Structure 1
Amino acid sequence: MKILLLEDDYNYRQSIKEYLEDIGYEVDEASDGLEACNKIKDNTYHLLILDIKVPEISGHEVMKYAKRLNLQTPIMIMTSLIDIDDMAIGYDLGCNEYLKKPFNLAELKFRVNELMRKYYARDDKNLITIASVFNYNTVNKTITNGDKTINLSSRELDLLNYLLYKKGSFVTINELISELWDEEINSADIRMHVMKIRQKTADNFILSKRGLGYKLNV
């Protein structure tokens, strides 16, 4: 599993990177917020570990950027800033875990392993298999295929969750429009969202039948 580590202190960053690699993780590193954003844009990660006070743009801005990309990747904040206002900002932005500096590497291992177990455990009762090879976690709203995470937009996730709610039955386009978006979009928009989900997953991820609509292949 792949982790992005944002930390501007070189020695501190290398120490954490080497430790995480020793316990089996692949680690990509960034020394400033802008570099982290570029790597998030170009790569898929299972966890983001972000320092807050870094050059270029802050860790909080990196979190905002990740959320604008509709990423569901869990985020751990690693910082010496622990007053209640800073913590509130982090959690409001979608932080899943706080780790106060300085910390013991054994604590880092525990917290990273726990996040990975919570979000990616194969025996999770909230994990649903779709089209034989894709696993959808209904808690964190992520789709994985092996070690690859598939990122969907908010409307694509809305569509997926409604089809999951109606699993076993075909759902008409009119029902999707009225139940999900209250006629804010039209049938062409629905078809576009289905097409994009299939492009990101597989052609048989969502099944369709003329006159009946769409059904999730679970």
Structure 2
Amino acid sequence: MSTNQPSILLVEDEENLHESLKLNLELEGYQVTSAWNGLEAVKAVQNEYFDLIVLDIMLPEMDGLTVMETIRIQNNEVPILILSARNTSADRVLGLKKGADDYLTKPFNLEELMLRVSKLIEKNKKLQDKETIGDTYTFGNNKVDFKAQEATTKNGEKIQLSKKEAMLLKLLIENKNEVVTREKILQAVWGYNVYPTTRTIDNFILNFRKYFEEDSRNPRYFHSVRGVGYKYSE
């Protein structure tokens, strides 16, 4: 299910505008998922990875600001572009305060919307592409060779890593001391847009502890952050 097309969640309850935006975004090469109310939007974000959310403020079931707060509380940093008929500076400030990355008032110029969408997706991609580490990495008595998919464990034993193990190790190490969300891991390593069970990642983390930790019950390097994701620290 991996795709190179950036994925956008479009949250807009006005049918004609929704269909017009969806068509134009798809023509630009984006993969668009539709949500027609606030609850649908929150559910979609919990089940799928998105590169951007285009979010109307006036929505049935749950308004756009509440949707945004709910998403941000879950530590999800997905870029959010607000579309709103409210055009006072107080409304804009409130929207940005609640976690929006950009704010566009209706009626808007379609070309301007497309430009803002493209810029937000590009900016997000740059943030996600962290400075990469080299082909080999050493920590404690452990050494990892990502290219050869090999590691030397704490006991000096050479082991073969699976491709997914090497990718996950690299992702965690490149984000050293930062929590990497389960969503980001599943998207980056497995390439899923719709997530499978996260037990898969748990098993990988348990393996890493077995290979690399002096005491796997009290890990120094590989940590699980309950309800959020995983962290590599030194």
Larger radius of gyration: 2
TM-score under structure 1 normalisation?
0.65
- Percent of aligned positions that are identical: 31
* Structure 1 residues without counterparts, runs of 5 or longer: 152-194
Q: Is the 8 A contact 1:46 1:149 kept in 2?
A: no
What letter is aligned with 2:19? Q
**2:103 pairs with one of 98, 102, 111:** 98
Alignment match of 1:145 (pick from 179, 185, 188): 188
Matches of 2:9 and 2:63, distance apart in 1: 15
Per-residue deviation at 1:61? 0.6
* Residues in 2 aligned to 1:54 and 1:67: alpha-carbon distance in whole angstroms: 18
Give the SS at the match of 1:28. Answer: strand
SS of alignment partner, residue 112 of structure 2: helix
* Aligned with residue 167 of structure 2, among 132, 157, 174: 132
**How far 1:149 sits from its partner (Å)?**
7.7
- Tell me if structure 1 keeps the 8 A contact 2:48–2:193: no
The 8 Å contact of residues 2 and 27 in structure 1, kept in 2 or not, is answered as yes
Q: Which deviations, in whole Å up to 9, do the C-alpha atoms of 1:51-80 show, x marking residues without a partner? A: 001111100010011122221111110112
Aligned counterpart in structure 2 of residue 77 of structure 1, from 77, 82, 85: 82
Paired residues for 1:18-97 under 5 Å: 18-97=23-102
TM-score, normalization: structure 2?
0.61
- Supply the AA of the counterpart residue of 2:98: L
Structure 1 residue 87: Cα displacement: 1.6
The aligned residue for residue 2 of structure 1 is 7
Equivalent in the alignment of 2:141: none
Secondary structure at the residue paired with 1:81?
coil
The answer to whether structure 1 residue 208 and structure 2 residue 215 are counterparts is: no
How many correspondences in the alignment? 174
Q: Quote the offset at 1:37 in angstroms.
A: 1.5
Distance in 2, matches of 1:17 and 1:52, equals: 17
Closer/same/farther in 2, CA of residues 132 and 41 from structure 1, 3 Å limit: closer
* Distance of 1:17 and 1:71 partners within structure 2: 23
Task: Report the 3-state secondary structure (helix = DSSP H, G, I; strand = E; otherwise coil) of the residue aligned with 2:202.
Answer: helix
Q: For 1:137 and 1:198, locate their aligned partners in 2 and report how far apart those are by CA, in whole Å.
A: 16
Structure 2 residue ranges without an equivalent (≥5): 1-5, 134-145, 147-165, 223-231
Q: 1:200 to 1:58 in 2, by over 3 A?
A: farther
- Match in the other structure for 2:159: none
Cα separation, 2, equivalents of 1:54 and 1:21: 23
Partner of 2:202: 199
